[in-house]
Structure 1
Amino acid sequence: MASSAGEPILTALRRVVRGEVTADRGRLAQYAADASNYRRVPLGVVFPLDREDVIAAVAACRRHGVPLTCRGAGTSTSGQAIGSGLVLDFSRHCNRILDLDPRARTARVEPGLVLDDLQAAAAQHGLAFGPDPSTHSRCTIGGMIGNNACGSHSLAWGRTSDNVIELEVLTYGGTVLTVGPTTTSQLEDAIAEGGERGRLLAGVRDLAMENLGTLRTEFGRFPRQVSGYALEHLLPEARFNLARALVGSEGTCAVVLSAKLSLVRRPRARALAVLGYPDAPAAADAVPALVERAPMTLEGLDRALTRMVTRPAALAAVERLPAGDAWLFAEVGADTPDEARRAASDLATAAERTAGFLGTYVATGPDEQRALWGIREDGAGLATRLPDGSEAWPGWEDAAVPAERLGAYLRDFNDLMARYGLQGAVYGHFGEGCLHVRLDFDFETHEGTKAFRAFLADAARLVAEHGGSPSGEHGDGQARSEFLGLVYSRQAVELFERFKHLWDPGDKLNPGVIVHPRRSDHDLRVSPRRSTIPLHTTFSYPDDGGDFGRAVRRCVGVGKCLTGGSSGSVMCPSYRVTRDERDSTRGRARLLYEMAQGELIDDGWRSREVRDALDLCLSCKGCSSDCPVGVDMATYKSEFLHHHYRGRLRPPAHYSMGWLPVWSRLAARAPRLANSVTCSPLAPLVKRLGGIAPQRGIPAFASESFLHWFRRRDGAREGTPVLLWVDSFNNHFSPHVLRAAVTVLEAAGFQVHVPPGTQCCGLTWISTGQLGVARRVAARAVAALETRPDVPVVGLEPSCTAALRGDLPRLLDTSAARRTAGRVKSLAEILLEHAPHYTPPRIDARSISQTHCHQHAEGGFDADGEILRRAGVHNTVLRSGCCGLAGNFGFERGHYDVSVAAAEQTLLPAVRAAAPDTLILADGFSCRTQISQLSDRTAIHLAELLAITTARRKRTS
């Protein structure tokens, strides 16, 4: 519910704004933080539909004197995207490309447009928007304008301010004006017209003309001087460019309604030279000589960052790095691959003449370059946890100095960190002297927060000594605004105040930033003044010290979960459908964090807001691998549901699908009878009682379970023993998959056994949060597998394999569960790792494969891909993410539309477009079910594909 203080403005907004206006506790929790250290609960959140809604919202705030903060993707690292007044979120609706002119190389866009969407449209004409921050898949143009974002290619294409032609802006006072470069006569004519626009322009003109000396000596001294306001653009020689002066103003002066941008021509070919040095300062010393070779990028990172990498592709890329403990990534562009390769070689030759050079590695293939860049691109997320697991935070996130001073500055900065006992991974835009680092500040004690503020002050003095800027691209925000007086003269700071007052005399736009700043140690999200409430948990959370509150605050807000389906990321399927922050991993993590704090969400495990936000979580586990800091929302959801429904009536689906292994065993005694009921006129009643979506067909039970078939057959009497995990899904619904696996394993020289009794990993109870039952079931499974402790375990169903590998050790927290987890392999993995002489049958075919989301999270597709390659299958892995069914999710009443919409984003169009002779591969039972129910194609398991050709080979031999 909205607070009483916010009711008048919310009521007024609902009268004039057509978009959503909300102040429920769940929404406020989602918008109380960005990607910074800070937390401020807003009065409400508005999602304007268009510019008219924006103008109406600002007018309502003006009438009620309410402060306003504009927000795009909420990835600001310094606290610019949060406020205690109204938050205006542009990302959901105000996100169109209004015009794109390939001849003029310009685009006019709305502020909520995601950068990658602009890049996709521009790429059709061989063009791009030059600035490309690592958050390109979710950051908005408005946010980039607010912070003057740069990215890795700023050496070639500059900052956002260098690529803005015009801005259409709205003042808090209600004036709409378009600003850009202006001649003296045009400026005087506009002033002569009078009105609010004339007054504003006259004031800014006088500010500039009365302080030419200060503007020419203190501003625009080097490319990454981003802190404060960019007043150098008000100089006559800069054509009084108000658009560029407003870029980087962090939403404190005006609201952006639209922007006209310049586009650049994309190079047809690129090559990447990775240069090794003994440490980061040595790499920084080499920068001036290498910049002379005009690379498009010159990025730096050190060994500490590579030690944080966990994703398989990035780990493989780390192995390619040349000798050294720090590296420069130098990218060159050209018209042809040969020219790009020569340019990279020339740059490497120049590097050989720099002090400390240790080696080079040149990557020319796009995939190889992408993998190497993956190390650097995930830096913002990876660096939030140090190699020892301790937390690292922004604060002194992106200071910059002239490039020729970077080596000296970095050495002094390392000394400063040592004096404070701090550590962090160093990376950044070395070619322009911009250094990124997250440090292990102690925010949990009063002494730690005091040291945090003292360190920032000393760091500001240090960067000033080197002629630098506290911010090189992320803006000052609450983290650094109070230290601008240590970097700029008093006269310059007074100019900031005067510029702000001209635009926003009442200090209502993003107050507390740049001018009249809030203290850097106030409003901290983690603070000794805000202790986490004690929460008993069932999962162990070993990587977070058993602390649920610490686990959910893994999310620092970098927002990688807000990406589109073409990114190759699995997370977050429901967000891709709804585009609602509540349905993102970040939004859910924010709610859980607030629940753990017990302030805004004050009813703990019983919270309806948290329950509702988790409702559309598919438990796909994509976030556990794709989130740079390993947020595991599937586990958090299970934990929450366990406590939320303890001692209470659960949703019907928890009893029907949560207990599916038990009902399947009962149905196996009379499968024909069970199938006749689920296909009869009683089916709608059965679905209603079971909480199943009426649109869903209930899969048919097999006439004979796999276990019944296996235990009456004569199997191989020789070979390497292996335990085949008989999951409930394949055992009762698709036993032919398990039978196929037996055929393949025996052909590979294995003697196949099954665990004693009828076992289950407990997955269905885990996913529905019935953890008491799940622990008992899981303990029996581990005990059964421990009867053959030295025998590898093969899983056919990816979700069950993932449960054995990941969920059971955290649920049981026993050495036996951890030992079992280490023995579990997929079919492809067992064939590659334990059957060195196995040669898959030759299958000259084409296929597309849907990787199960749990397989993506726990094991990946590399082993499957290698088996298919050896078999001669030309396979394409769909970049589709989760299929949308996700176990019980897509069957539950109320989830059908989201489930289908998730499948329709990539999977189903690809299946429909596949040629009739193209095989559809899907190891997951859910994936195969979704494909069969929503298309006219049938997907098969890898085991089936290999078994069919194995049997043919046997018959012909």
Structure 2
Amino acid sequence: MTTAPIRPGADAEHSLLAQELAGAVRGSVRFDTATRAMWSADSSNYRHVPLGVVQPVDGDDVERAVEVTRRHGVPLLPLGARTSICGQSVNEAVVVDFSRHMRRVLEIDPSSGTARVQPGTVLDDLRDAGKPHGLTFGPDPSTHNRCTLGGMIGNNACGSHSVAWGKTVDNVRELDVLLADGTRMHVGGPMDDAAIDAAARRAGSEGRVYRDLKALRDRTADLVRTDTPDLTRRVSGYNVDQLLPEHGFDLAKALVGTEGTCVTILEATVDMVASPPVRALAVLGFSDAYAAADHVVPIRDHAPLTIEGMDVGVIGALRSARPDDRTHEALPRGKGWLYVETGGETRGEAHEKAEAIAKEMAWATVDSKVVSEPKAMRALWKIREDGSGIVTRGPGGVEAWPGWEDAAVQPAKFGSYLREFDDLLSKHGRTGAYYGHFGDGCVHVRIDFQLLTTAGLKNFRAFLEDAADLAVAHGGSLSGEHGDGQARAELLSRMYSPKMMEAFSDFKAAWDPDGRMNPHRVVDPPKIDSDIRVFIGQPTIPTRTQLDFIHDGDPETGFASATRRCIGVAKCITASGGVMCPSYRVTGEEKHSTRGRARLLFEMASGQTVPDGWQSQEVEDALDLCLSCKGCSRDCPVGVDMATYKTEFLAQHYAGRAKDRPRSHWSMGWLPAWLAITSKIPGAPRMANALAKRPALASIAKKAGGIAPQRSIPPFAPKPLRRLMDVKKHQARPDVGKRILLWTDSFTPAFDPELALDAIAVLEALGYRVELPQKTVCCGLTWVTTGQVSVARKVIERSLERIRPWLEDGVPIVGLEPSCTAALRGDSLKVLGRDHDLAQVASKSIRTFAEVLADHTDQLAELTDGAERKALVQIHCHQYAELGTDADRAVMAALGVQADVLDEGCCGLAGNFGFEDGHYEVSTACAERGLMPKVREAAADTTVLADGYSCRTQIRQLDSAGHEPTHLARLTAQALGLRA
């Protein structure tokens, strides 16, 4: 059990509440400023600062927490991953967060086709548990690798397979729940009147709940039958229809979709469905999204697993956000698409079903494509799954928001609804790209509302009111998946009669008579245009930046825009896949996730919850374990770039306070300068290596430099690159071959110069004339990562001037160190400004070693010695984020290398990060999550390939098996017979 302090001046009652909770609960109790700031927002437009956060370890913990909050009479909010788009998971309440501890799959029962889970169980964990039995949980939102079952039940989540397996309400059997007064109940299954009457005779609150709900049913049955839209995707309002006799008075199903406003879920028994072992995908291209929507009904007759839709606007947003991403080119021709998934016992069966659909719809489509190869299917699905993030920024960086992204109508009316919806957008001067569950008549859209001005909020309200009326006119639901929360609740009166709204109020009162469970959601709602996060949280501190926030505006507005970029999609809190976010995956702490850090920066800028501006201790603490790996800039669907934000924060934080900088900023941040000096002194590398081997001296040096005592000081090469070769003599050769400039970064020449010689030999074998800068050059990255932007600017400008002749002659530049190559491609523009001429040319000229070689794959295949080679490949994070790996894969294939490219995330060293004192445990834990076990398991004849010097250093220092990691240049030189 841990608790964090409340800042001085906090309300005394809340301080007492925190103390009592800390004394009663074994899990974490956090009422500190940082936690309250991080939990003040979800994926919606709204902001509400909680009183504090409790993270219980079991049901007893929950009961004790509920009892304390009952005595204090404060609101309670149970929640999971906090990805709600309508504001259900933010409130001025005590948060009970199940996502940290109560996340186990308790039982899988294949005989009954059920699973028993805790509320914090991640959906993908449940699906993995069901796989050995051929079972899965049907509903599958795009957040499947982080959303929790408790959150799905609270929100009545659906996902892409609802045409086959329905909503969450269709898949819940039983619930163990806790009322706000501490009463524990087990509900679920059909009940006749005799069973209801028996339950109504139970003592206390449990009997009262049954009596009140039966009375509600009896007086509103006819109203509910006539006032509830007949839709597969009706999620708005409470499921009072589940109280009807024809639905069995099923209280578990009635509680689904109540958004934490009625009970706290302790445990759930859910249905598992048989999952086809093999699937195929037919992607149908139409002339536009309207045509796609018009044709979902005949496709439904084929009983597919999925019918998802997407508008061409999503592709425009994707191309704007990720110019180098070519995944969308795999789509068939068209401007609107349907993804139709089929299943079967064999690949052939699934593929045949998909082909049949494509063939039958050929008359209506522009083009179609059927795939059943898993990798190809994943690539296509990724476009759709990332849609909710991609469309938050349109071409030109235009910001788009939720608010009306979730309406649903009967599938037969869907095309008509979309046409009128687009007319409504035009009427209000708005635009939006949409995608969604077309097979169920449900559309998701992000709209370019102007939420920063009073006039913009007025337009926002007017649009939502008209949009609600349009959905109702089509017999639809305001929400087809995301629920009501604050975004929809005020509008429910446009969908339901006054008497139905009274029935909803009575339903909540039966469970929560004191109104303490997530108040003002669904019933008694606040205004849809109040509490708008970006409006009430506009910056109050100076936000002119030292960096150029290229993707977020100019130096005057860029940081403010960047703090709005995170929309809470929460892909950063996933357990595996990609790079983001290494420190979160090790610690499990929200403040070490990209989302948590982004929330703190937003609150720091507004100054309302996180005080002290750029001097904020809360933000400094959260950014301390940011590895600046840049994984978020690639993996985050909305492109949050925490490495850049950290650099800016450190630059502002230490502005005018150089003496307060950590010692590591002077040792590691200035490392290229120390390396340059060392390389010029004959015998200095050997002397440094000898001193580093003496424990006492090494300990003193590490302490002086702020370096972790557990770290070994990497040895210098006996001779740096410039002492191994005569640069002037090398470049005085006859002018043969195509000129190329080798970027002599700070690390390769000093530590692994033989790799540079290998690269030169390979390039010359391919016909290049390799030239080197006459003087030392540096990308400035170590100064960038430590926030010493003014120094980085001077270093980069000087280096670009030194290679100006090559830049002006159009000579391509090849980099061997991925982080330096990425820095020249991207960071140099942020440091020098997007309009800096030389930086622009350098950014376009710099290429990775693999990118150069990829133009010669046929030649490589002819020159290779034909020997079988295996490689275990660790991709440097900066390469993953900014450079890509297609070229590397193509080169290895040409060389005949069987490459196992790891998807185990960051190596954990991350430049200076892993060397800094206080970071060793996190750094090594990152490596031990996947990379190092894979390295140790590798066969002796498998090459461990790691182009990044940081990656090689981490492997060298942690690998007891003795694998010597190397670079693609060495592997290629060996394959071409240029090195033994």
Which TM-score tier does this pair reach, normalised by the shorter chain? over 0.9
Residue 205 of structure 1: how far off its partner (Å): 1.2
Q: Does 1:272 align with 2:281?
A: yes
Alignment-derived partner of residue 830 in structure 1: 852
Residue 357 of structure 2 is matched in structure 1 by: 347
2:826 is the alignment partner of 1:811: no
Q: Which of 631, 634, 637 lines up with 1:625 in the alignment?
A: 634
Contact 2:537/2:608 (8 A) holds in 1: no
Unaligned runs of 5+ in 1: none
The match for 1:926 is 950
Question: Is 1:733 aligned with 2:751?
Answer: yes
Contact 1:270 1:332 (C-alpha < 8 Å) held by counterparts? yes
- RMSD, aligned CA: 1.6
Residue in structure 2 matched with residue 256 of structure 1 by the alignment: 265
CA contact (8 A) 1:424 1:438 kept: yes
Taking the aligned partners of 2:855 and 2:602, their CA distance within structure 1 comes to 41
Q: Which amino acid aligns with 2:976?
A: T
Match of 2:655 among 646, 651, 663: 646
- Equivalent position of 2:668 in the other structure: 657
Q: Is the 8 A contact 1:219 1:230 kept in 2?
A: no
Q: Distance in 2 between matches of 1:529 and 1:843?
A: 62
**After superposition, where does 1:394-793 map in structure 2 within 5 Å?**
394-527=402-535, 530-546=538-554, 547-565=558-576, 567=577, 569-648=578-657, 649-668=660-679, 669=681, 670-680=684-694, 681-711=696-726, 714=730, 717=734, 718-789=736-807, 790-793=810-813
Which residue identity lines up with residue 542 of structure 2 in the other structure? P
Task: Confirm or deny: 8 A CA contact 1:749 1:835 kept in the other structure.
Answer: no
SS at match of 1:388: helix
Q: CA deviation at 1:541?
A: 0.8
Which region of structure 1 is more displaced relative to structure 2, 701-710 or 224-233? Answer: 701-710
Name which of 211, 217, 220 aligns with 1:202. Answer: 211
Deviation, 1:372, is: 0.5
CA distance in 1, matches of 2:879, 2:916: 22
Structure 2 residue 821 is matched with structure 1 residue 801: yes
Q: Distance in 1 between matches of 2:25 and 2:820?
A: 48
Higher mean Cα deviation, 704-713 or 251-260?
704-713
Give secondary structure in 1 for the equivalent of 2:175: strand
Give the whole-Å Cα distance in 2 for the aligned partners of 1:287 and 1:827: 48
Distance 1:490 1:675 in 2: 81
- Within 2, Cα distance between the matches of 1:481 and 1:830? 57
Contact persistence 2:721–2:749 (CA under 8 A): yes
Give distance in 2, aligned partners of 1:532 and 1:463. Answer: 39
Give the TM-score of the pair, scaled to structure 1: 0.97
Tell me the distance in 1 between the aligned counterparts of 2:537 and 2:613. 19
- Deviations 1:743-783 (Å, cap 9, x if unpaired)? 11111111111123111111111111111111100111111
Cα separation, 1, equivalents of 2:585 and 2:354:
38
Q: Distance in 2 between matches of 1:377 and 1:714?
A: 52
| Aligned equivalents of 1:527, 1:34: Cα separation in 2 | 15
Amino acid at match of 1:856: Y
1:904 corresponds to 2:928 = yes
Per the alignment, residue 243 of structure 1 pairs with 252
- The aligned amino acid for 1:861 is T
Take 1:645 and 1:20, find their aligned partners in 2: how far apart are those partners?
A: 32
* CA displacement at 1:530 relative to structure 2: 3.8
Residues 844, 871 of structure 1: 8 Å contact kept: no
Contact 1:314 1:375 in 2 (8 A): no
Offset at 1:950? 2.5
Residues 135-156 of structure 1 deviation map (CA, whole Å, 9 limit, x = unaligned): 0111111110111001000111
Summarize the Cα distance change of 1:129–1:111 in structure 2 as closer, same or farther, 3 Å threshold: same
Structure 1 contact 220–230 (Cα < 8 Å) conserved: no
Paired residue total = 950
Residues 760 and 314 of structure 1: is their aligned pair in 2 closer, same or farther, counting only changes over 3 Å? closer
Shift of 1:599: 1.7
Please state whether the residue corresponding to 1:168 is helix, strand or coil: strand
Secondary structure in 1 aligned to 2:927? Answer: helix
Q: Which residue of structure 1 aligns with residue 308 of structure 2?
A: 299
The question of whether the paired residues in 2 share the 8 Å contact of 1:561 and 1:627 is answered with yes
Instruction: Using the TM superposition, name which of 317-326 and 300-309 deviates more.
Output: 317-326
CA separation of 1:179 and 1:105: change in aligned 2, threshold 3 A: same
CA contact (8 A) 1:314 1:371 kept: no
Kept in 1, the 8 Å contact 2:50–2:92? The answer is yes
1:848-863 counterparts in 2 under 5 A? 848-863=872-887
Deviations 1:497-543 (A, max 9, x none): 00011111121111111000011111111116745533121111122
Q: Distance in 1 between matches of 2:225 and 2:886?
A: 57
Corresponding residue SS for 2:395: coil
**Residue 192 in structure 1 maps to residue 201 in structure 2:** yes
Match of 2:21 among 1, 9, 13: 13
Secondary structure of the equivalent of 2:535? Answer: coil
Distance 2:491 2:510 in 1: 22
Q: What displacement does 1:220 show? A: 5.8
Shift of 1:272: 0.5
TM-superposed CA distance for 1:455, in Å, is 1.1
Q: Which residue of 1 aligns with 2:3?
A: none
Residue of structure 2 equivalent to 1:368: 376
Alignment of 1:104-143 (within 5 A): 104-143=112-151
Counterpart secondary structure, 1:333: strand
Distance between the aligned counterparts of 1:374 and 1:364, measured in 2? Answer: 15
Whole-Å Cα distance in 2 between the matches of residues 834 and 759 of structure 1?
28
For residue 217 of structure 1, report the CA deviation from its aligned partner.
2.0
Matches for 1:196-235 after TM superposition, within 5 Å: 196-219=205-228, 221-235=230-244
Counterpart AA for 1:246 = L
In the alignment, the residues of structure 1 paired with residue 430 and residue 407 of structure 2 have an alpha-carbon distance, to the nearest angstrom, of 17
Q: CA deviation at 1:219?
A: 2.5
**Percentage identity across paired residues of the two chains:** 51
Per-residue CA deviation, residues 214-270 of structure 1 (Å, 9 max, x unaligned), is 222222611100000011111111111111111101010000001011111111211
State the 1:714 CA deviation.
3.9
Code of the residue aligned with 1:417 in structure 2: it is L
Please say if residues 229 and 477 of structure 2, whose CA atoms lie closer than 8 Å, have aligned partners that are also in contact.
Answer: no
Corresponding residue of 2:177: 169
Q: Out of 868, 871, 893, which is 1:847 matched to?
A: 871
Secondary structure of the structure 2 residue equivalent to 1:526: helix
Q: CA deviation at 1:570?
A: 0.6
Contact 1:253 1:503 in 2 (8 A): yes
Letter in 1 for 2:687: L
